[in-house]
Amino acid sequence: MKFVFESTFSIFFIGPRLLIFLFYEQLPLISN
């Protein structure tokens, strides 16, 4: 059960940060 909680926590905590990071990486290409 602890492993499931940690994996879910990592998905919800790191997932959005990774998406935001990728989104801001693409911003210069979109603005130009």
Which residue is it, tokens 């990728």?
Answer: 22
pLDDT of residue 1: 72
Residues 1-32: tens digit of each pLDDT: 788 888 898 889 899 999 999 988 888 776 76
Total residue count of the chain as it appears in this document: 32
The widest CA-to-CA distance across the chain, in whole angstroms, is: 47
Tokens of 19: 């998406």
Which residue is it, tokens 């693409």?
Answer: 26
